[in-house]
Chain A
Amino acid sequence: MESFFTRYRNFLVLLALLLAQIIGLAVQVRRTEAGRSTLDPRDAAGVRLIRLWADALVTPPELLFHGSRQNAANLWQNYLDLRHVSQQNQDLQKDIDRMRLEQAELLEDAREGTRLEALMGFQQRYVYKTLAAQVIGSSGSDSSRVFYIDKGSADGLTRDMAVMTPDGIVGKVRDVFPHTAQVLAINDPTSGAGVILETTRIRGILRGNAQGRLQVVGILADERIRPGEKVLTAGGDLIFPRGLPAGVVQGVAPDPDRDSFIDVIVKPAAHLDQLDEVLVITSTEPRFPAQQQQDMNTSEALKGAAAEAIEEQEKASQIMAERLPGLTDPNAPAANAKPGQTALPGQNQAGQGQAAPATALVPPVPKLLPTMHSDRFTPAADNPQPSDAQTSGSAVQRAKPASKPQSKPRLPGAAQPASSGRNP
């Protein structure tokens, strides 16, 4: 027996290694209901452990390479950028201040829109919080279009978060490690994103083919699909928010597997082959950062102060209008007053305001008390001013019997004679 193992040692070791790996493969692959083999999207504990080890082994040197390359490239550029940087900084700061206020106003509108949509029962998802990350490595294989970023679970990343650039979507987080994460690019054959063609509103699934080209699959042949049409995310996959650019239609090819179906070839909106920095959408809930919230509060306070100032102005002008002599005759009876009854400003507003709105619109003019001690500056009612003589003549005539000065001031009323003089 010993000689058997010694003699066939090499082959036995080879068989043992192959058998172990084949069993490992069998554990990872499962059959679908359609009878096709597929990989389990969720790694088993043992498989995840191996991936964790590989990541821990390869990532630190990758970060070192990445940092060295970037530092070398940026060294000269940084020197050039330093020139005139102070003036540029001041200008940019001013722009930022202005844009922050503008952004606060826009955010207020967005918040209002979100609230209204929530009221109407929409479940649209919004991009509100992203995390910038740098691409540090790839899988190193053409058959696996994944790449690694320098942010992980310690930075709040979780599985299935959408990854994008300002140009368009890039992929989704497939696996998360403590300080790195593996991102599955949208041009991988196992990837998938729900998309919609902008003009024709045709929906499909965006994924990559074996050559890494993007295509929308599962579409019935349609002549309306033209090159140049934009492809946007549909939002139905619960990963990518709705309306993000995915690419542009390049052409149409017949589906090799199914008749009457076509594959829409798409040029990706993001540069998938030259990714340096990406944004991970960490939250799609309508939450605002503290700075934006503060800006919104400032904006609201400014708006409140402006409204208050306008109100004060209106009040002041009203008071001024009350104090200044009006062009209308204060002693003239109201338009709809009964004969023999003089309308009072207070009565007009309170008692007849509803019945005679036209009267209520006349600005109230204060009535002056009759002169009790006349002098040359304030002539008595018996000597009316020429200007007032015609208007208050009848009232003066009625007030003549009470020639003696009254002991206490009387309220201006219907029976009280109007005075043309000035009350000191």
Chain B
Amino acid sequence: MAILGASYSRDMGIRRYPLLVYGLVPLTALVLQAWLPRVLWGQAWFDLPLVVTIYFALVRRSPVQGAVMGASMGIFQDALTHLAIGVNGIVKTVAGFLAGSVGGRIDVENRTIRLLLTFLLSLLSSAVYVLIYHILLGMDLKSSWLTEMVKAVANSAIAMVLFPLLDRLQIRE
């Protein structure tokens, strides 16, 4: 079964990583997301947990894994705020699911596609976030699309640096 699984992964181009990477990389993303705004004048112009979710969903090519990882990361991210737990969870669940679905259909090795996907999924996440607040919760959330655009660009820039670094951590056959 293990041989079958490994063979299936190899045939499908699914990457595998040491178990420690699945634990440490998301944790580091959460910690940096909470810590970096302190040294960046209080501004959070990026979403590291989202970038990491997109990466693992893309390279694992699994919508389920992407959705579960996105939900976990989003819930922990929400737990660090004083807002309702679940908003970021839903956003990243959707983003992870879509990234995993797309990852099975396109060439995820291409850097341009990766960047474009990260940019689009970041914008989609912002839209879902606003929709959840307005429609699902019926609460006011004043947001600027310019800010969300800047955030999407920043996420793409981070992805451009982070994805090659994470690629090096995969298990080579």
Contacts and interface: CB of A to CB of B under 8 A. Distances in A.
B85 A24 contact: yes
Interface in A184-237: 184, 188, 190, 209-212
B42 A273 contact: yes
A280 interface: no
Interface stretch (B1-9, B11-19, B139-147, B155-163): B139-147
Contacts of B64: 9-10, 13-14
Contacts of B39: 69
B167 to A, nearest CB: 24
A39 B71 contact: no
A138 B138 contact: no
Interface string B29-40: 011011111110
A25 B97 contact: no
Contacts, number: 154
A57 interface: yes
Interface string A20-35: 0110110011000000
B20 interface: no
Given A17-B67, A50-B79, A53-B79, A25 B87 contact: yes
A303 interface: no
A17 B33 contact: no
B41 A273 contact: yes
A69 B31 CA distance: 14
Interface residues of B, number: 48
Interface string A358-382: 0000000000000000000000000
A14 B64 CA distance: 7
B139 A135 contact: no
B27 interface: yes
Contacts of B165: none
A281 to B, nearest CB: 20
B77 interface: yes
Contacts of A138: 34-35, 37-38, 42, 44
A65 B97 CA distance: 32
B77 A140 contact: yes
Interface residues of A, number: 56
A147 interface: yes
B139 to A, nearest CB: 5
A22 B35 contact: no
B68 A190 contact: no
Contact of B35 (A9, A66, A182): A66
A143 B34 contact: no
A177 to B, nearest CB: 11
A29 B84 contact: yes
A291 B82 CA distance: 39
Contacts of A57: 27, 30, 76
Nearest to B75: A50
A185 to B, nearest CB: 9
A90 interface: no
Given A17-B71, A143-B141, A135 B30 contact: no
A120 interface: no
Nearest to B90: A21
Interface string B67-111: 110010001110111111111111001100100010000000000
A251 B30 CA distance: 38
Contact of B83 (A10, A137, A144): A144
Nearest to B62: A10
B39, B64, B147 pick with most chain A CB within 10 angstroms: B64
A37 B67 CA distance: 28
A276 to B, nearest CB: 9
A54 interface: yes
A14 B93 contact: yes
A17 B86 CA distance: 10
A211 B28 CA distance: 27
Nearest to B79: A54
B110 to A, nearest CB: 24
A140 B33 contact: yes
A146 to B, nearest CB: 5
A414 to B, nearest CB: 95
A55 B80 CA distance: 7
B136 interface: yes
Given A28-B84, A37-B137, A143-B81, A62 B31 contact: yes
Contact of A28 (B31, B38, B85): B85
B38 A209 contact: no
Interface of A: 9-10, 13-14, 17-18, 21-22, 24-25, 28-29, 36-39, 47, 50-51, 53-55, 57-58, 61-62, 65-66, 69, 135-144, 146-148, 174-175, 182, 184, 188, 190, 209-212, 272-275
Given A36-B139, A53-B76, 8 more contacts: A14-B63, A14-B67, A17-B71, A55-B79, A58-B31, A137-B35, A141-B88, A147-B38
Interface of B: 27-28, 30-31, 33-39, 41-44, 63-64, 67-68, 71, 75-77, 79-90, 93-94, 97, 101, 132, 136-139, 141-143, 147
